[in-house]
Amino acid sequence: MSQPGTITAHVYTSRAQIPVAGATVAVSQRLGGKRHTLLAIRVTDENGEIPPIPVPAPQGSETPGKDVPFSSLDVRVEHPDYQMEIIEGIQIFPGISSLQEVQLIPLAEHAIPRNTYHVVNITPQPL
């Protein structure tokens, strides 16, 4: 049995990396196809951070082309004053603590938050 990995997030805005407090971070694990399991929902603190979330991670296979040695996560970050950010395909390895940096873009005045989002898709490691 392998030990879990963990994921944390740092949410900020601008090149100066100004922390965004009060952002909602939802972490879900991909189960195959379009199926997901919600692992956690956290709210960022005054530093724009969430505490580590444990993620079940597979042991993997030592045979090339067999099971992948990581879990695949999606992270959705929302705040009423910013464009929603969706990051798909984050890879979490057993025993490794991963940090996901998330830059939020401020909404234009009078923008409708649910209609503005940005999706980042991370390509799997060719292991």
pLDDT in tens, 42-91: 999 999 999 999 998 776 555 555 577 888 899 999 999 999 999 999 99
pLDDT at 98: 94
If one counts every other C-beta atom within 10 angstroms of the C-beta of residue 74, the result is 19
pLDDT at 16: 87
pLDDT at 23: 97
C-alpha closest to that of 98 among 117, 70, 125, 118: 70
- Domains observed in the chain: 5-121 (2.60.40.1120)
Predicted TM-score (pTM) of this structure: 0.82
Q: Give the percent of the chain with pLDDT over 90.
A: 55
In this predicted structure, the answer to whether residue 113 has a pLDDT above a threshold of 60 is no
pLDDT at 20: 97
Q: How far apart are CA 20 and CA 10, in angstroms?
A: 9
pLDDT at 18: 95
Assign 40 a pLDDT band (cuts: 50, 70, 90). very high
In this predicted structure, the answer to whether residue 2 has a pLDDT above a threshold of 90 is no
**Quick one: DSSP state of residue 44?**
-
pLDDT at 34: 76
